[in-house]
Amino acid sequence: MQDIMFRYFAFALLLAFGCVLHHSHGTEVTVKDKDDKLCLYANLMVNFSVSYTTSENKSELAEFELPAEVSSNGSKCDATSSTLKLSFGAGHSWSVNFIVNGTTYQADDVTFSYNLSDSTVFPNSALNDTLSVNARPHITDISMDTCYSCKSKETIQSDMVNQTLWNVLIQAFIKNGTQSENLTTCAADLPVIPTPTPTPVVPVTNTTASTLAPTTPPTPTLPTPTIGNFSIKPDENSTACLLANFALRIGVKQGEKYQEMNLDPNVTTVSGSCGVNSSELVLVSNAMTVALTFTNNTNKFHLQAMNVTAKLSSGVVFSAANSSLILWEAALGSSYMCNKEQNYSITSQLNIFTFNLQVQPFAVKKGLFSTAEECFLDSDLSFLVPIAVGVALSFLIVLVLLSYLIGRRKSRTGYQSV
């Protein structure tokens, strides 16, 4: 509850300040039109992860970020399309093209060019060419005369390059050189309240009738799901490259109906893949299919996407997905662990509950979990939250009492002075 209240407070604060609330430690750029008026503003952070081949025919991974100091030469503003082009380092550039779509605008495509002859970033590269990749970010449906804001991370993946954007604050097509105070916030930043399990309704017994009305039995409470031990191997003769142990329950809402289902690991088949920047775990049981996609963002990994398909008791096939998650984050080379129950709202129709969770989708050594990073619920500091709330409430009560006593004393003094 405290986390939800904090997210709403932060969200309200962001709306109050709008586009003028700049993100810190990012790359901040302003572009002016032919009349020397501000027409495009950007403040964002971008990390790059590039696979390249060395002269020894080995595959290496270069990881670097968009620096604070860039050149915006080549950026331009037009009535229906604008381009933000950022050049940096020894021949690298990152650009995004914005287009107007009726009453909204969007980022149409992103182009990242990198110079392999830059030995500082790509040491011992076999090639000296400048290569480019084009991709389309999920920056859409931005209302005109508003600023797009997204603190959450979005990873744009391609064969050789991953681009991770976060702390993004952009306004294209600025009118009259003045930034807007209104925001269009990305869906990943919007506060989500978990959907509660509805209490079963028991019909009132008709005591006047000769036959009592039948009562609806309460929905039985599901037992705690069984823990499954899941792993992915590149081939039969190799050790595991992805490890995951957890018990899983899903909650599905369709209209006014809500149903929960446990994943039974005893009748679940496991498949997936391991990659340098992305790994996938797919679990298929009789009742549901769960696909989990993990992303390696420079020095950390997290759960990026989840896709769930389930056959409900009504016979309806339910499907939901979210590809903008940032869950179960831990340092690369370690595992993420949370023994206590966790509840996540994946979409407005899908909740998941995890128990005794431990995952490691990258850098698994000898088929064993590495040192675990514990979730906050498992940490020794979690007990401080209710204590802090209690202290705050006690202080508030004392403050109210003092205010009441002081006000009462003043009123008595005023009466006696008459």
Q: Which comes out higher in pLDDT, residue 294 or 10? A: 294
* pLDDT exceeds 80 at position 218: no
The whole-number average pLDDT for the span 275-292 is 93
Q: Do both 234 and 179 map to the same domain?
A: no
C-alpha to C-alpha distance for 190 and 186, rounded to whole angstroms: 7
pLDDT tens, residue by residue, 182-207: 888 887 777 654 545 555 555 544 44
Tell me the three-class secondary structure of the chain, residue by residue.
CHHHHHHHHHHHHHHHHHHHCCCCCCEEEEEECCCCCEEEEEEEEEEEEEEEEECCCCEEEEEEECCCCCECCCCEECCCEEEEEEEECCCEEEEEEEEEECCEEEEEEEEEEEECCCCCCCCCECCCCEEEEEECCCCCCEECCCEEEECCCEEEECCCEEEEEEEEEEEECCCCCCCCCCEEECHHHCCCCCCCCCCCCCCCCCCCCCCCCCCCCCCCCCCCCCCEEEEECCCCCCCCCEEEEEEEEEEEEECCEEEEEECCHHHCEEEEECCCCEEEEEEECCCEEEEEEEEEECCEEEEEEEEEEEECCCCCEEEEEECCCCEEEEECCCEEEECCCEEEECCCCEEEEEEEEEEECCCCECCECCCEEECHHHCCCCCHHHHHHHHHHHHHHHHHHHHHHHHHHHHHHHHHCC
Q: Residue 155: inside a domain, yes or no?
A: yes
Q: Do both 172 and 236 map to the same domain?
A: no
Q: Which value, to the nearest 10 degrees, does the dihedral of the CA atoms of residues 313, 315, 321, 326 take?
A: 10
Q: Residue 102: inside a domain, yes or no?
A: yes
Q: Do both 244 and 115 map to the same domain?
A: no
Q: Do both 292 and 178 map to the same domain?
A: no
Q: Do both 251 and 158 map to the same domain?
A: no
Q: Do both 26 and 174 map to the same domain?
A: yes
Number of structural domains (the chain) is 2
pLDDT tens, residue by residue, 37-78: 999 999 999 999 999 999 999 989 999 999 999 999 999 999
CATH number at residue 29: 2.40.160.110
pLDDT, position 9: 43
Q: Do both 310 and 257 map to the same domain?
A: yes
Q: How far apart are the first and last CA of the chain?
A: 51
pLDDT, position 247: 96
Out of 189, 207, 236, pick the residue that ends a domain: 189
Q: Do both 260 and 351 map to the same domain?
A: yes
Q: Residue 302: inside a domain, yes or no?
A: yes
pLDDT, position 314: 84
Q: Do both 249 and 167 map to the same domain?
A: no
Q: Residue 126: inside a domain, yes or no?
A: yes
Q: Residue 391: inside a domain, yes or no?
A: no
Q: Residue 215: inside a domain, yes or no?
A: no
Q: Do both 185 and 232 map to the same domain?
A: no
Q: Do both 28 and 123 map to the same domain?
A: yes
pLDDT, position 376: 80
Q: Do both 108 and 9 map to the same domain?
A: yes
The whole-number average pLDDT for the span 103-119 is 93
- Percentage, residues of the chain above pLDDT 90: 56
Q: Residue 198: inside a domain, yes or no?
A: no
pLDDT tens, residue by residue, 397-409: 888 888 777 777 6
pLDDT tens, residue by residue, 120-174: 999 999 999 999 998 888 888 899 999 999 988 888 877 789 899 989 999 999 9
**Which tokens belong to 93?**
């550039």
Out of 160, 189, 218, pick the residue that ends a domain: 189
* pLDDT exceeds 90 at position 384: no
Q: Residue 333: inside a domain, yes or no?
A: yes
Look up the domain containing 288 and give its range.
Answer: 228-378
**211 phi/psi in degrees, rounded to 5:** -115, 130
